[in-house]
Amino acid sequence: MNKRAQTNIVAFIAVVVGLFILAPIMLKIVNSTLDPLEDTLNNTNQEAGDRVGYIHDVFLNFWDYTVALAFLVNILMMLIFAFLVDSHPIFSILYMISLMFTFMFSHYVVIPVTTILGMEQFATEVTQLPILNFIVLRFDFILLGLAILTGIIMYSKFKGGGGGITR
């Protein structure tokens, strides 16, 4: 257990990819349950059908924003990790190892996600998750941009003498 509450970037990427895989599957379950229920309720009581439709819409937005939020937290943690790199040299070594593993395994992690998103059974769910679709299609470019950004931050921390206040 890490007592300093610092976590590895690979753990955050695993959580984000888990959400990538889980989101279309959960939407498939909810869509297959709530769509017929909403149609049936609309035939009997319009207000009840509208309320089920509202719950359905909230659930759809929840998963899309959950994936986007997890991805944003992942990016923020990597930026914080890059800012802490000047406090101890071990952070730079751990950062490089984490970045290397991230780039090595990002392709293998995105393959199941793209397979699920490309399946005919999840065609409706993919169109309901525009943020997830954007992130998955541009995952390598986003990671490369993040690596460049954190590299610039680390370079400025090392070159600038730590960026602390000088008196």
Name residues of the chain where pLDDT drops below 50: 1, 5, 165-167
Q: What is the pLDDT of residues 106-135, one digit of tens each?
A: 776 677 778 877 888 878 877 888 887 888
Residue 43: per-residue pLDDT: 86
* pTM of the shown model: 0.55
Residue 162: per-residue pLDDT: 52
Full DSSP string of 84-123: GGGT-HHHHHHHHHHHHHHHHHHHHHHHHHHHHHHSGGGH
Residue 161: per-residue pLDDT: 61
Residue 149: per-residue pLDDT: 85
* Tally of residues, the chain: 167
